[in-house]
Amino acid sequence: MNETVVAHYSGERLAERVLAAARSVGLREITPAALAPADQFHMGGLRATRELAQLARIGPDDTVLDLGCGLGGPARVLAAEYGCTVAGIDLSPEFIRSAVLLSEACGLGDRVAFTVGDATDLPFEDGSFDVVFTEHAAMNIADRRRLWSEAFRVLRPGGRFAFFDIVRGPNPAEPDYPLPWAREPAISFLLTASMTRALLEEVGFRIEAWAGLPAPPGRPDATSPFSLRVVMGDELEGRIGNVLAAMGDGRLELLQGLAIRPA
């Protein structure tokens, strides 16, 4: 299953393509915020990352783990704007290679580190982080209990788990494929909000904040040469259309929350 997920996010020389696309639209200064059109792989983009960081109360003394970090866009924003140190982990070797190169281009090589690995079997010691942070990664992970148990394990007592995910809505019909995270249902593992909360509490988390969010206004840009299309390809516009249609009729919803590992 992991190999199938990695294949879905396949690509070559992604960092180089992102930087070339940035130059093509006249971007002169490479910063985490400037790269956001092409490296924030979730609904709401840069704004959503900042909102989740504020919910998690991330500050300069925190060590943060970004689960399913992709090209490292959120990790770079957290390090640059909130002063924390960040570790990112993702299944895709190319995503991790590109995350390192893009972070070096932003001058953040000493503030962020990236590892190829499985979020359900984290290569970190117990109690290693103050915050675990994840945006739109859980949909590709079948063993959600194991995922959240690992997040719980690597948090220090009192640590915060901040998440922004897509979940099933009240309409039981399947969303139309392809979607940004899956071309077909085989690698799409969607839970309802209530199932999500129950599992988080079962592994030991205490819920501090919980909110269903509306779809962001407008339609994400999938046509610009400097957008997520650089990484996701020409199918992106149709995939985004399927997500928005499913959110419009209640098949999918957005969920943001903060859970605490009790002290």
pLDDT: is 11 or 109 the higher one? 109
C-alpha to C-alpha distances, 126 to 3, 162, 258, nearest whole angstrom: 27, 18, 20
Q: Of the candidates 69, 185, 195, 190, which has an alpha carbon nearest to the alpha carbon of residue 132?
A: 69
pTM, entire model: 0.95
Query: How many beta carbons lie within 10 A of that of residue 177, not counting itself?
Result: 14
So what's the pLDDT on residue 225?
Answer: 87
Rounded Cα gap, residues 223 and 22, in angstroms? 14
CB 188 within 8 A of CB 252: no
Rounded Cα gap, residues 54 and 140, in angstroms? 25
- Gap between the terminal Cα atoms of the chain: 35
Query: How many beta carbons lie within 10 A of that of residue 263, not counting itself?
Result: 7
Residues forming a β-bridge with 87: 65, 113
Contacts of residue 250, Cβ cutoff 8 Å, sequence gap at least 6: 169, 170, 171
Q: Which residue bears the tokens 């020389």?
A: 13
So what's the pLDDT on residue 90?
Answer: 97
Query: How many percent of the chain have pLDDT more than 70?
Result: 100
* Predicted confidence (pLDDT) at residue 1 exceeds the cutoff of 70: no
So what's the pLDDT on residue 145?
Answer: 97
Q: ω into residue 172 within 30 of 0, thus cis?
A: no
Alpha carbon 232 to its chain's center: 15
Average predicted confidence (pLDDT) for the chain:
95
Q: Of the candidates 191, 179, 187, 189, which has an alpha carbon nearest to the alpha carbon of residue 1?
A: 187
For the residues 131-135, what does the mean pLDDT come to? 98
**pLDDT per residue as tens digits for the range 176-209:** 999 999 999 999 999 999 999 999 999 999 999 9
**pLDDT per residue as tens digits for the range 209-261:** 999 998 887 777 878 889 999 988 888 899 999 999 999 999 999 999 999 99
So what's the pLDDT on residue 103?
Answer: 98
* Predicted confidence (pLDDT) at residue 106 exceeds the cutoff of 80: yes
* Predicted confidence (pLDDT) at residue 10 exceeds the cutoff of 80: no
Query: How many percent of the chain have pLDDT more than 90?
Result: 88
So what's the pLDDT on residue 29?
Answer: 93
For the residues 70-86, what does the mean pLDDT come to? 98
Q: Which CATH superfamily is domain 2-260 in?
A: Vaccinia Virus protein VP39 (3.40.50.150)
